[in-house]
């Protein structure tokens, strides 16, 4: 049997691709995380990570173990929450960026409300920067948002590179400026795209501005242009576009900001549920989905 402690350490390293950061997020020592991973590799008889002095990456067996670890830990946590659910009641004002809501979050929220029927969950969806401002004003108890790397406090759920998103049959015309599809200011993805193109000296033209992520998806699917987007949240039917005229973008962090009054149940239980099941929110995409 795989020890849950080993699995939690493995899952956190798989999420962050850093033994140091995994130890920090788990509140333990790096040596402990490394030992847990070694024991899990010994118990399973396979190598889970490729490690050198500069990087950590999952092996194919490690990719498979992520799914098993998530399933085992989610089942264990669900059992614990089930038998404790009678004790939880109250209200949670949760703000979430739209790209997360359009991924796997509704399933987790439905599960949470089913297991804790006495908890009133109030959901606000919007741009990450707008939600962060509302959180600072005390209008939200929790915010699950993306931000540029190293952007301050909060509990990390995962990191993700921004990529250029396009329709599967879209091709850039190198005789014309890059056609951009962007969220309205002050969106994190908008700032990253404009700064990257400006630093690269590449001409661009704004084809579409949208207040919502759904509008961005519709414009991209129509083949109007390209848009910056978190790689692991790319929707079905849209792909990562590689082109010499498109410069690399930032890495963003998906974090939960927690208000002072939300550091205990029921909000704490929801935070732990999201962190434990963070990988379920993301798509494990086939390499053929990028070009």
Residues 145-190 pLDDT 10s: 999 887 777 888 888 899 999 999 999 999 999 999 999 999 999 9
Asked, as a colleague might, if the bond just before 255 is cis with ω within 30 of 0, I would say no
Please enumerate in sequence order all residues whose Cβ is within 8 A of that of 88, keeping only pairs 6 or more positions apart, or say none: 116, 118, 119, 265, 266, 269
Confidence of residue 52 (pLDDT cuts 50, 70, 90): confident
Q: Please tell me which of 58-67, 175-184, 267-276 the model is most confident about, judged by mean pLDDT.
A: 175-184
What distance in Å separates the CA atoms of residue 38 and residue 34, rounded to the nearest whole number? 6
Tens of pLDDT along 33-46? Answer: 999 999 999 999 99
pLDDT of residue 24: 84
| Mean pLDDT of the 67-73 span | 87
Nearest partner of 127 among 211, 14, 238, judged by Cα: 211
When pLDDT is cut at 50, 70 and 90, the band that residue 291 belongs to is: low
Residue-wise pLDDT for 117-136, tens only, equals 889 999 999 999 999 999 99
Quote the pTM value. 0.70
**What does the pLDDT read at residue 112?**
87
Give the chain's length: 291
pLDDT at 262 over 80: no
- pLDDT greater at residue 72 or residue 207: 207
């Amino acid at each position: 049997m795989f020890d849950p402690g080993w699995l939690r350490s493995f899952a956190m390293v798989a999420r962050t691709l850093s033994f140091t950061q995994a130890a920090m997020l788990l509140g333990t020592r790096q040596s402990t995380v490394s030992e847990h991973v070694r024991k899990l590799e010994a118990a399973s008889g396979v190598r889970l990570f490729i490690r050198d002095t500069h990087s950590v990456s999952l092996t194919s067996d490690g990719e498979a173990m992520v799914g098993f670890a998530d399933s085992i830990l989610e089942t264990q946590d669900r059992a614990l929450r089930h038998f404790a659910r009678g004790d939880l009641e109250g209200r949670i004002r949760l703000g979430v960026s739209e790209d997360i809501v359009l991924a796997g979050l509704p399933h987790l929220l439905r599960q949470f409300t089913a297991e804790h029927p006495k908890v009133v969950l109030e959901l606000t969806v919007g741009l990450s920067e707008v939600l962060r401002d509302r959180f600072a004003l005390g209008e939200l108890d929790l915010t699950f948002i993306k931000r540029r790397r190293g952007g301050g406090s909060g509990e990390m759920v995962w990191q993700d590179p921004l990529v250029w998103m396009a329709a599967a049959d879209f091709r850039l015309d190198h005789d014309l400026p890059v056609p951009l599809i962007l969220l309205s200011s002050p969106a994190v993805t908008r700032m990253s795209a404009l700064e990257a193109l400006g630093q690269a000296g590449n001409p661009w033209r704004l084809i579409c501005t949208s207040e919502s992520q759904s509008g961005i998806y519709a414009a991209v699917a129509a083949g109007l242009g390209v848009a910056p987007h978190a790689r692991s949240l790319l929707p079905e039917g849209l792909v990562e576009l590689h082109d010499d005229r498109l410069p690399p973008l930032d890495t963003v962090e998906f974090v939960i900001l927690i208000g002072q009054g939300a550091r205990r149940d029921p909000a704490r239980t929801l935070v732990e549920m999201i962190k434990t099941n963070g990988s379920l929110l993301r798509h494990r995409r086939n390499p053929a989905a990028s070009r």
